[in-house]
Amino acid sequence: MTILELDQLDKYYGTNHVVNNLSLTITEGEFLTILGPSGCGKTTTLRMIGGFEAPAHGRILLKGIDISSLPPYKRNVNTVFQQYALFPHMTVSENIAFGLHQQKKDKAAIARRVGEMLEMVRLKGCESRKPQELSGGEQQRVAIARAVACDPDILLFDEPLGSLDLKLRKQMQTELKNLHRELGKTFVYVTHDQEEALTMSDRIAVMNGGVLEQLSTSEELYYYPQTKFVADFIGETNILEGKAMSADLAEIQGVIVPVPVNNYPVGCDVQLFIRPEHISISPKAGRLKGIISDMIFVGTNRKYIIEIPSGQRIIAAETTLHIPIYALGQEVWIDWNPGKASLFW
Amino acid sequence: MVRKQKYSFWGVLLTIAAAMAFCFLYAPLLIIILYSFNDASVASFPIEKFSLKWYHVMWENESLFEAMHNSIWVAITSTTLAVLIGVPAAYALNKYEYFFKETLKKIILTPITLPGIITGVAMLSFYPLIGLNISLTAVIIGHTTFLLAIVVSLMLNRFMQLDPFLEQAAFDLGATPISAFFHVILPNIRMALIGAILLCLVLSMDEIPVSYFLTARDNTLPMEIYGMMRRGVTPEVNAISTLVFLFSSATILLAIWLSDRDRQN
């Protein structure tokens, strides 16, 4: 069931078109991440859902009702802010209870709910501490508890893990994912960290320059990018330049290779995107010849850097064997499964 | 190895200069405090007999009390008005963007830089134009005008330091703008606000130039003291000055202490 629908949203800052005709629907209970480089309009989109920015055009429908002109305090969505924005003059308990007080809940109900929330984020015993007496991770958990306490339709996260160190960030990622499973609530999460997006989300909306590039699952995004930007932005990839020959053939580095079916004009410049793990190396035969110029051991796999005659260096990832099977300077052939490559022009 | 502390020529000179500055600032005040306890009618040194005689004389001076009463009334009213107008003004100046914002900021803050005598003369010629005769009401409006500049500049500074996301978080959690102001903004600017109020009270109590032009029959305390001075410095003036000095210092110290505590939080 659709819980939130963004319908042709536009937003300008001066002449800067920060969100451009953005439409997407979010299913109830889903963990959706908006991913993109800084300045791509992802935070602005989140702030429009939260009610902190008004769209120039378009509608925001929450459970089918247009909320685009409602102020934040009339929307049943809650945000976990980037720097948490905990109220410094209030204790942990008072912070969590703030939203409930605004809803004019009775005292007993508030106390019960605050207790539940403290339990949920494992902060029992910190009730009467002030936010500034807590560690970054603990403050983060208070911010989550405060947002969840009001039982919103949707929880919004604005790069909430950005200021934590790497280890804590990984830990919080797992916690957030578990929390999502336990609560069954809709999460809309904004980040520029693709790994974070790939690990946590049910679906990812990749934005670039205010435009929605692709909305799909992590796997689809990784294996079947729909735009050049997505293919380049997500993960590591090899880009081979060439020319379109027909609907399913292209000339790459002087070799005619099968490519995904397309309708690009014959003779136009194209780029073939191939993931390192989809490139296979063989000592005898393949599509392109090259020389092993470097080897990098990264634990789970071994990366071979192969220099092809044009001078370009192709990265191939092979599952780790204890000993490298190829030697530096060895002449090899590389090949790939055409079905797993993407072609753009 | 112990290095010998060397006294540099400029360092010594600077210390002497600082000491002299303090001397010129505080020695006259100390003398006044001393003289206020002097039993003799003429200011003379050394003091032969200490007494509270001049405090008794002051106590019986009704016009002085009248003036004190007026001053307190002016200070409280104009401070209240300045806060009621200035705090929302500072809030709006910080929060909203509009194209004449910088100009507006300067216009509000200008009275701080203008000499009081100019403000006073200007008000004296302007108020009758709008049908306002010189009176205590005129003094209150005059004081409010320059206190407004103080309140706006102090509070604007505080609002700028305040995390804008605090208010947004309050809205996000269902607080209306009014509720967010009283439950989230106000508690976080409280100390700065108290500091501003105390400073306003002191400034209004001590103010002469604006009051001088706008006072009719009802004198404020500094005006009354000024009037008494025309008959020479009576020891009674020393007594009242001592009290005013103590009140002002206490208020300022309180304001500094409060704003320090605010910064530490």
Nearest to B173 among A51, A52, A99 (CB): A99
Which residue is listed with tokens 């216009």? B107
Rg (CA), chain A: 25
Average pLDDT over residues B183-190: 92
CB atoms B172 and A73 under 8 Å: yes
Strand pairing class (A288-297; A331-336): antiparallel
Q: What is the pLDDT of residue A59?
A: 94
Closest-approach residue (CA) in chain B for A88: B188
CB atoms A99 and B188 under 8 Å: no
| Whole-angstrom distance, CA of residue B104 vs CA of residue A73 | 30
Confidence of residue B5 (pLDDT cuts 50, 70, 90): low
Per-residue model confidence as pLDDT tens digits over B156-166: 989 999 999 99
Residue A70 in contact with partner chain B when CB distance is under 8 A: no
Closest-approach residue (CA) in chain B for A85: B166
The type of residue at A336 is W
- Kindly provide the residue ranges of all beta strands, DSSP E only, lying in B137-208, ordered along the sequence: none
Per-residue model confidence as pLDDT tens digits over B20-43: 999 998 898 888 888 888 887 776
Question: Could you give the percent of chain B with pLDDT greater than 70?
Answer: 94
Confidence of residue B263 (pLDDT cuts 50, 70, 90): low
Strand pairing class (A186-191; A154-158): parallel
Looking at CA atoms only, how far is residue A204 from chain B in angstroms? 24
The type of residue at B246 is L
Query: Residue B62's Cα: distance from chain center in Å?
Result: 25
Q: What is the pLDDT of residue A289?
A: 85
CB atoms A98 and B173 under 8 Å: yes
Query: Residue A184's Cα: distance from chain center in Å?
Result: 20
| Whole-angstrom distance, CA of residue A312 vs CA of residue A334 | 13
Q: What is the pLDDT of residue A111?
A: 93
The single-letter DSSP state of residue B41 is S
A90 touches B177 (CB < 8 A): no
| Whole-angstrom distance, CA of residue A316 vs CA of residue A303 | 6
CB atoms B172 and A87 under 8 Å: no
Q: What is the pLDDT of residue A99?
A: 94
All residues of chain A having their beta carbon less than 8 Å from the beta carbon of residue B169 are 79, 81, 85-87, 146
Q: What is the pLDDT of residue B88?
A: 93
Residue A188 in contact with partner chain B when CB distance is under 8 A: no
Strand partners, A289: A333
Closest-approach residue (CA) in chain A for B189: A89
The type of residue at B147 is L
| Whole-angstrom distance, CA of residue B45 vs CA of residue B55 | 19
- The reported pTM is 0.79
What is the count of residue pairs from A and B with beta carbons less than 8 Å apart?
Answer: 61
Residue A264 corresponds to which tokens in the numbers above? 């690009």
CB atoms A99 and B174 under 8 Å: yes
All residues of chain A having their beta carbon less than 8 Å from the beta carbon of residue B158 are none
All residues of chain B having their beta carbon less than 8 Å from the beta carbon of residue A51 are 171-172
CB atoms A81 and B168 under 8 Å: yes
Looking at CA atoms only, how far is residue B165 from chain A in angstroms? 6
Closest-approach residue (CA) in chain B for A49: B172
All residues of chain A having their beta carbon less than 8 Å from the beta carbon of residue B172 are 50-51, 72-73, 77-79, 147
| Whole-angstrom distance, CA of residue B194 vs CA of residue B155 | 10
Looking at CA atoms only, how far is residue B211 from chain A in angstroms? 40
Per-residue model confidence as pLDDT tens digits over B39-75: 877 766 677 778 888 888 888 888 888 888 899 999 9
pLDDT tops 80 at residue B237: yes
Closest-approach residue (CA) in chain B for A104: B174
CB atoms B165 and A81 under 8 Å: yes
Residue A131 in contact with partner chain B when CB distance is under 8 A: no
Residue A13 in contact with partner chain B when CB distance is under 8 A: no
Q: What is the pLDDT of residue A43?
A: 93
Instruction: Please give the average pLDDT of every successive group of 10 residues along chain A, which has 345 residues.
Output: 92 91 94 92 94 93 93 94 92 94 92 93 90 91 93 93 86 91 93 90 93 92 88 87 83 82 82 88 84 83 85 82 77 85 84
Strand partners, A60: A6
Confidence of residue B239 (pLDDT cuts 50, 70, 90): confident
Closest to B30 measured CA to CA, from B261, B242, B191: B242
CB atoms B173 and A88 under 8 Å: no
Exposure string over A236-260, b if 16+ CB within 10 A, otherwise e: ebbebebebbeeeebebbeeebebb
Closest-approach residue (CA) in chain B for A74: B174
How crowded is residue A101: how many other Cβ atoms within 10 Å of its Cβ?
16
Residue A72 in contact with partner chain B when CB distance is under 8 A: yes
Q: Which helix (H) or strand (E) holds A297?
A: strand A288-297
A338 touches A260 (CB < 8 A): yes
Looking at CA atoms only, how far is residue B181 from chain A in angstroms? 12
Nearest to A85 among B168, B175, B187 (CB): B168
Nearest to B172 among A50, A86, A89 (CB): A50
Average pLDDT over residues B220-226: 85
Strand pairing class (A154-158; A77-80): parallel
Residue A87 in contact with partner chain B when CB distance is under 8 A: yes
Residue A92 corresponds to which tokens in the numbers above? 């942990």
CA dihedral A236, A24, A151, B173 (to 10 degrees): 90
Residues across chain A: 345
